[in-house]
Amino acid sequence: MLTALGGCEPQLDVHINAALNVGLTTDEIVEALLHSAVYCGMPKAVNATFIAKKVFGERGLLKDQAA
């Protein structure tokens, strides 16, 4: 819903962190955001994906990031 609404990036940040805290993987989160593009439109899905990338980076979870 936050992706569909747009303009809810701070709340989306919190929810992505919470999803990771309860065991979702980065792949599962990205898949959900990709799926949302069909229903919400690409601009909103891309905005949400940028927030996810920021959260993943803060947690050191980016796949292209050196270990």
Which domains are delineated in the chain?
A: 2-58 (1.20.1290.10)
Neighbours of 48 (CB within 10 A): 27
Q: How confident is the model at residue 63 (pLDDT cuts 50, 70, 90)?
A: confident
Threshold 0.85, pTM exceeds: yes
Residue 32 has pLDDT above 60, yes or no: yes
* Percent of the chain clearing pLDDT 90 (strictly above): 88
For helices 42-58 and 9-21, the axis angle rounded to 10 degrees is 50
- Per-residue pLDDT, averaged over 3-7, amounts to 90
Helix (H, G, I), strand (E, B) or coil at 8: coil
- Based on its alpha-carbon atoms, the radius of gyration of the chain, rounded to whole angstroms, reads 11
Given a contact cutoff of 8 angstroms between Cβ atoms, the answer to whether 25 and 35 are in contact is no
